[in-house]
């Protein structure tokens, strides 16, 4: 019986590790192979304080959580600038560094001998000195850690994490602070893993660096993948399957000399079969938006305040020896649609990048409503009132249509972890209000009936409309669209063009990059012509199209 209870204790600890790892891998899309290091630092911090200094429980656990959360923030720093394969390499290196420190800091960690005689946990005068006595503690800790992870994942912050996983630039373009999000999710995932480490140290009463190597991280990764990334319930299933399955295989009678090897082969084959049949995991992530019991109110989109223009003065940007933009002045007035045209490579997208903070000008300055935007990050510029789209759309295809709009709404209480955990009722109340706001925006662009559908299922014209809706949700009054109508058939254009006209009539400041001259003629009241990084002309569409030099360069 103790054997079964021991397996259940280990399943509980693995459940903590797998669910916290899923926050990084499945929700935030941060493929970091350092989770065993968090587990190990939590275990060693607890072991050192409890065994060496006699600090009573739960103080070593709390200290381990704080130390490991700090380590998580340090490991997150490389993720601020790199991702993908590079993040894997960097975090793998950090995992190796932690293991090496544990093995060689002999005076503190015991080196290869580890730390022994870690005291058992005593609760209410009872020593948790057997699997049966320890199991309730392990299950309780797993439930609490799962609730913490679930609360994060189900909140607007979790929704923003999934959007960041899809595309970081797009998340910045809707006003989210990617740096703060990465630091926060690393710290929380590390802290939760530390809880498992502290309990493990008290349970086995011995820790060794050999228990916290990269092989353990791979094992945890398998749990997340088998269970289903982006689904915390899948992490529990993955932990149960991968922890229990090897134990079940031990009951198959085999010749002693080859039993272990055959069981390993059977274990591997069963995993391959599971992943072959369910490549998305046993419990895959689903794009789920909140639904209303009754149709929401559909208030009109608020009229924007008329005010000063978005201006770029003397904008210059070089890439090595290439001058992408040279001394360009752009003024985008409110209440009208300004067109930015020119041949490919003229510097149009570079101008957008400079106006929205994705690039900083080598010379010149950007201002909005008379306030300088110099030095502001993209998400800060969105909050100041200027937002942009991208030529390749950058929709969050793993989210629903409604969630694509919800995630862009500004000033969400659920973006603050303090409010997520300590003021959840306020978050829920505002979330209901935000659902109505998001639905109103979708109705405005004509996508109300597609609210619950995955964004990946939209037609190309509907994707264009969702880009407009997402940008509108930011609350920004200056909206810059990079080729928002390219590739649309005439019948689709007829549906989309009125949306842009209504936005201009609301008093917003609009600028579009567009190659379709019919669209420019129909929508724009003024046009800026760029070529080879310079502004060659500015005026009405008719004036520019009748200019002989511009006709020779571009219009013919």
Cβ-based neighbours of 408, under 8 Å, separated by 6 or more: 174, 175, 470, 471, 473, 474
Same domain, 185 and 67: yes
In the chain, pLDDT over 90 holds for what percent of residues? 64
Q: How far apart are the first and last CA of the chain?
A: 85
Say yes or no to pLDDT of 553 above 90. no
| Longest CA pairwise span in the chain (Å) | 94
Same domain, 415 and 540: yes
Say yes or no to pLDDT of 492 above 90. no
pLDDT of the residue at 318: 93
**Pick from 494, 14, 456: which is nearest to 222 by CA?**
14
> Is residue 263 situated within a structural domain?
no
> Is residue 329 situated within a structural domain?
yes
Domain finish residue from 170, 192, 213: 213
Reported confidence tier of residue 376, pLDDT bands at 50, 70, 90: very high
> Is residue 405 situated within a structural domain?
yes
Reported confidence tier of residue 544, pLDDT bands at 50, 70, 90: confident
Say yes or no to pLDDT of 64 above 70. yes
Q: Which two tokens stand for residue 552?
A: 């020779």
pLDDT of the residue at 309: 84
Classified as helix, coil or strand, 170 is helix
pTM for this predicted structure: 0.90
Nearest 5°: phi and psi at 70? -65, -40
Domain count, the chain: 2
Say yes or no to pLDDT of 431 above 70. yes
> Is residue 292 situated within a structural domain?
no
Contact 157, 424 (CB under 8 A): no
Say yes or no to pLDDT of 289 above 70. no
Q: Which two tokens stand for residue 368?
A: 């909005």
Same domain, 206 and 351: no
In the chain, pLDDT over 70 holds for what percent of residues? 95
pLDDT of the residue at 94: 87
> Is residue 279 situated within a structural domain?
no
Domain finish residue from 189, 213, 237: 213
pLDDT of the residue at 383: 94
Find the mean pLDDT for residues 62-67: 96
Say yes or no to pLDDT of 556 above 70. no
**Pick from 528, 523, 474: which is nearest to 499 by CA?**
523
Find the mean pLDDT for residues 247-256: 74
Cα–Cα dist 89/82, whole Å: 10
Contact 480, 450 (CB under 8 A): no
Reported confidence tier of residue 296, pLDDT bands at 50, 70, 90: very low
Same domain, 149 and 42: yes
Q: Domain span at residue 498?
A: 310-555
User: If you average pLDDT over every residue of the chain, what do you get?
Assistant: 89
Domain finish residue from 187, 213, 239: 213
Helix, strand, coil percentages (3-state) for the chain, rounded to 5, are: 60, 10, 30
Find the CATH number of the domain harbouring 372: 3.40.50.300
Find the mean pLDDT for residues 430-450: 94
Say yes or no to pLDDT of 256 above 90. no
């Amino acid at each position: 019986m103790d054997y079964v209870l021991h397996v259940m204790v280990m399943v509980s600890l693995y459940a903590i590790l797998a669910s916290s790892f899923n926050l990084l891998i499945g929700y935030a899309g941060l493929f970091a192979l350092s989770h065993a290091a968090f587990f190990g630092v939590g275990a060693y911090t607890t072991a050192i304080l409890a065994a060496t200094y006699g600090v009573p429980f739960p103080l070593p656990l709390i200290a381990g959580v704080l130390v490991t959360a700090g380590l998580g923030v340090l490991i997150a720093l490389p993720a601020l600038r790199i991702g993908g394969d590079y993040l894997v390499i960097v975090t793998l290196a950090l995992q190796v560094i932690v293991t090496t420190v544990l093995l060689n800091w002999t005076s503190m960690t015991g080196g290869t001998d580890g730390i022994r005689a870690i005291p058992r946990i005593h609760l209410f005068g009872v020593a948790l000195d057997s699997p049966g006595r320890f199991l309730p503690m392990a299950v309780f800790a797993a439930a609490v850690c799962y609730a913490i992870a679930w609360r994060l994942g189900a909140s607007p912050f979790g929704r923003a994490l999934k959007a960041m996983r899809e595309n970081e630039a797009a998340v910045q373009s809707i006003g989210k602070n990617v740096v703060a999000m990465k630091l926060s999710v690393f710290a929380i995932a590390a802290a939760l893993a530390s809880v498992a480490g502290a309990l493990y140290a008290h349970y086995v009463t011995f820790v060794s660096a050999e228990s916290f190597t990269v092989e353990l991280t791979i094992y945890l990764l398998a749990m997340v993948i088998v269970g289903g990334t982006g689904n915390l319930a899948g992490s529990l299933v993955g932990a149960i399957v991968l922890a229990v399955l090897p134990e079940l295989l031990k009951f198959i009678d085999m010749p002693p000399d080859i039993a272990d090897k055959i069981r390993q082969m059977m274990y591997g084959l069963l995993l391959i079969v599971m992943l072959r049949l369910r490549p998305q995991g046993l419990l895959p992530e689903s794009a789920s938006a909140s639904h209303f019991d009754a149709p929401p109110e559909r208030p009109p989109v608020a009229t924007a305040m008329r005010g000063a223009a978005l201006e770029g003065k003397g904008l210059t940007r070089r890439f090595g020896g290439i001058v992408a933009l040279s001394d360009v002045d752009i003024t985008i007035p409110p209440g009208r649609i300004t067109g930015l045209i020119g041949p490919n490579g003229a510097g149009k997208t570079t101008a957008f990048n400079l106006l929205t903070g994705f690039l900083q000008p080598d010379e010149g300055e950007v201002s909005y409503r008379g306030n300088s935007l110099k030095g502001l990050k993209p998400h800060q510029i969105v909050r100041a009132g200027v937002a942009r789209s991208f030529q390749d759309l950058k929709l969050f295809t793993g989210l629903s249509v409604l969630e694509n709009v919800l995630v862009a709404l500004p000033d969400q209480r659920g973006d603050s972890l303090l409010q997520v955990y300590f003021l959840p009722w306020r978050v829920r109340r505002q979330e209901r209000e935000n659902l109505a706001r998001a639905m109103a925006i979708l109705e405005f662009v004509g996508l109300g009936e597609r609210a619950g559908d995955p964004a990946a299922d939209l037609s190309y014209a509907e994707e264009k409309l969702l880009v407009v809706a997402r940008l509108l949700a930011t609350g920004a009054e200056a909206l810059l669209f990079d080729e928002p109508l390219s590739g649309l058939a005439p019948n689709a254009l007829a549906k989309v063009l009125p949306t842009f006209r209504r936005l201009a009539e609301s008093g917003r400041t609009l600028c579009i990059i567009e190659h379709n001259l019919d669209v420019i003629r129909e929508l724009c009241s003024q046009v800026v012509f760029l070529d080879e990084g310079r502004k060659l002309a500015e005026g009405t569409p008719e004036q520019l199209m009748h200019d002989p030099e511009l006709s020779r360069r571009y219009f013919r």
